[in-house]
Chain A
Amino acid sequence: MKLPHDIQKDFPSLHAMGMRAYLDSAASSLTPVSVLEAMNDYYQNFRSNVHRGMYKTAGEATERYEAVRGIVAKFLNASAPEEIVFTKGTTEALNLLATSLGRTFGPGDEVVLTEMEHHANLVPWQEAAKRHGFVLKYIPITKAYRLDMDAARALITPKTKAVSIAHASNALGTVNPAKELAALAHAIGALFILDAAQSVPHMKVDVRDLDCDFLAFSGHKTYGPTGVGVLYGKKALLEKMEPAQYGGDMIREVKYEASTWNDAPMKFEAGTPNIAGVIGLGAAISYLETIGMDAVEAHDRDLTAYALEKLPAVPGVKIIGPEAGERIGAISFEVAGAHPHDLATIFDREGVAVRGGHHCAMPLMGKLGVTGTCRASFGIYNGKEDVDALVEAIQAARATLKL
């Protein structure tokens, strides 16, 4: 399966931004026209709140909003739409888990993360651990930028209450062995949580095949709008969990003395949600399903292989991440003698947009002994010519910096 050759026409901002190569989709992907149209349709034609009004457009808004639960559930191969909670992004979804599950953990308990976590899957757990007295353990990475699975087997013990890991690392591109870790977690009765912010945009993610208990991803990295994301949770687990935020829409009955909660997933969605965002996310997923996740994955793999061949051929370039194989097209690299911010600035002048910095993974950067890296990351609209543009930009930077 191949992506449509004229796919770029679906992304008007590619040209409007006036760049030669947009290589920062791991930070935020661009948005196809169909997503903009779906959100516009809401604002222009049925702009109402959900779950309350008795008039026609309120009904339509509710229907369209709720329909996206079904679209997301099918996309992730969840068992039911009720397993989908809308959040404002991966960060909020992981905060919800750390807050709600964290309350049920205490002294003597452990939560296992990895050394390559994004701050979003680290800081919320750190805060919950501080509050409730449990301990965090980190699965180390090997010299090949992959998880040390022997260490993982030793770290996941009967004390472990949850294992929460990045499915794909935003800083290294590594795809972690989720199924194997899920089996290790479940063998001792721990919960298994996947931060799938970087995997969902690049590959078919099947929550039942992976057997994860919870999974989080973001709309804006999945060709959808900003400010919307998803928490998937197994129905039985969501039903048992306490909410993390309180207010309108999440309650069953409120009295001055005390209140009771709505059913999952509603009890996790306090207040008016990002209605246009959810509708836009639904359009983004429908778009991806039309072009096919197999094609998306094959395209990402081809471009990654091409970049892993071309970039190291430039003098001074070192890839900070695993070899081709179980990895996504988020490629971190250093150029000897150049700081990533200086590189990103010079690349910008060459019309090439990359991310330079610590990628919200400061502990990992410390472990690798770098202040940061440059990262080129691919979307479905990128081609080999974008990798070539990056190679030329690196050469230009080396000249400017007199390396």
Chain B
Amino acid sequence: MEENLYMENILDHYKHPHNAGRLEDASLRARELNPSCGDVIELFLSLDACDRVRDVKFDGKGCAVSQASVSMLTDRIKGRPLAEVLALSERDILEMLGIDVGPMRMKCAMLSLRTLKSALNEKH
């Protein structure tokens, strides 16, 4: 794991987030925030007939870690089967980020996953 929280790719995702925006016809959506810091993510997903993620977008405000994490996560799940998305764990998020998040910033890193799980809960 990289020790520098603010590696090039984290800053890239933070400054130029992927899949930013809203999906008005989303079949699944959720909004979660971190009460300790006020970071917020709203996630929109639409599924196709075979239960794959057809499209995903997010609207968020927060630190580099939380926003890079959700930007990467949307890339990760786009086009993937729902079963695979449902199986994502904290470990997957840490591997995806590739940085040593540390205990103080874990909540920032995991806000994306928490929002995703909350959106999926609507269906399951």
Contacts and interface: CB of A to CB of B under 8 A. Distances in A.
Nearest to B39: A371
Nearest to B36: A357
Interface in A286-312: none
Contact of B65 (A340, A342, A371): A342
A339 B6 contact: no
B5 interface: yes
Interface stretch (B21-29, B56-64, B87-95, B112-120): B56-64
Contacts, number: 43
A371 B64 contact: no
Given A371-B62, A402-B11, A342 B38 contact: no
A345 interface: yes
A71 B37 CA distance: 38
A358 interface: yes
Looking at A342, A357, A365, the one whose CB has the most chain B CB atoms below 10 A away is: A342
Given A342-B6, A345-B105, A371 B11 contact: no
B64 A401 contact: yes
Contacts of A340: 37, 63
A186 interface: no
A341 B105 contact: yes
A402 B10 CA distance: 12
Interface string A345-363: 1100000000011100010
Contacts of A341: 37, 39, 62-63, 65, 105, 108
A340 B34 CA distance: 14
Nearest to A348: B104
Contacts of A371: 37-40, 61-62
A379 interface: no
Interface residues of A, number: 16
Contacts of A372: 37-38
Nearest to B61: A371
Interface string B7-25: 0000100000000000000
A245 B36 CA distance: 28
Interface residues of B, number: 17
Contacts of A402: 11
Contacts of B105: 341, 345
Contact of B6 (A356, A362, A400): A400
Nearest to A399: B6
A358 B6 contact: no
A339 B62 contact: yes
A400 B99 CA distance: 15
Nearest to A370: B38
Interface in A130-185: none
Interface in A355-403: 356-358, 362, 365, 371-372, 400-402
Contacts of B61: 371
Given A342-B6, A345-B104, A357 B65 contact: no
Given A345-B104, A371-B37, A401 B11 contact: yes
Contacts of B40: 371
Contacts of B38: 357-358, 362, 365, 371-372
Looking at B39, B63, B64, the one whose CB has the most chain A CB atoms below 10 A away is: B63
A342 B6 CA distance: 9
A400 B105 CA distance: 17
Contacts of B104: 345
A382 to B, nearest CB: 23
B5 to A, nearest CB: 6
B119 to A, nearest CB: 21
A115 B40 CA distance: 22
Contacts of A401: 6, 11, 64
Contacts of B6: 342, 346, 400-401
Contact of B63 (A339, A358, A362): A339
Contacts of A356: 37
Interface of B: 4-6, 11, 36-40, 61-65, 104-105, 108
A-B complex: 8 closest residue pairs judged by Cβ atoms: A339-B63, A341-B63, A371-B38, A358-B38, A342-B64, A357-B37, A342-B63, A400-B6
9 contacts: A341-B65, A342-B6, A342-B64, A342-B65, A356-B37, A358-B38, A400-B6, A401-B6, A402-B11
